[in-house]
Amino acid sequence: MPEFAELLKGYQRFRAEGYPRQKARYDELVREGQRPELMIIGCSDSRVDPAQIFDVDPGRIFVVRNVAALVPPHETSPGHHGVSAAVEFAVQMLKVKQIVVMGHGMCGGCQAALTQGLHGNDPGEGGFIADWIHLLDEARKPVAERFGTEGREAERAMELEAVKVSLANLMTFPFVAEKARKGELKLRGAFFAISEGVLYVLDPDSGEFEPVE
């Protein structure tokens, strides 16, 4: 497949140039293990790779990516809770100091939540996406009332609200809330506008997203 062949070419460039340049760093990571101080919860969208956007070396950030960069609320029911497990690992085992929830522009998951459908109101063959974006149902209501459910203004409002939903849900995890109260863990919201190439950071006091200068 040509797509995989292109990946292999990229690997060969990395092996010839990137790895030798970072070898000391990789040796350190092998010897001491990973010690990232920051976790990023981002979207699976192929256009928003946190490592590229923040231009960080290997081992600096612990990244979890999913549809719309969502964090479900804490729950104790049995199941396979991938995001919750990653949050627990980052906070309890890696002892990260910060968690950044990073949304982005033109997010298909947020658009689906806003219009309550996917690709012509198709909820997805397995129903997995539909169930997942129901996490945004409450946030959708005021957005739809103010901006409607179509157009870039409405979509952006939904994308920004999704970040706030995930931040609020993080605080339902007892171990996150406890560390946040003690000042041992800081939660931040961010938004990357693909069309502008600009990162916006949530001001916790005003509730507004401000561009990073």
The secondary structure of 46-72, three-state, reads CCCCHHHHHCCCCCCEEEEEEHHHCCC
Q: What is the mean pLDDT of the chain?
A: 94
* Complete domains list, the chain, with CATH: 1-32 (no CATH), 34-211 (3.40.1050.10)
**Cα–Cα dist 2/205, whole Å:** 49
pLDDT digits (tens, 9 = 90+) for 13-42: 999 999 999 999 999 999 999 999 999 999
Quick check: pTM over 0.85?
yes
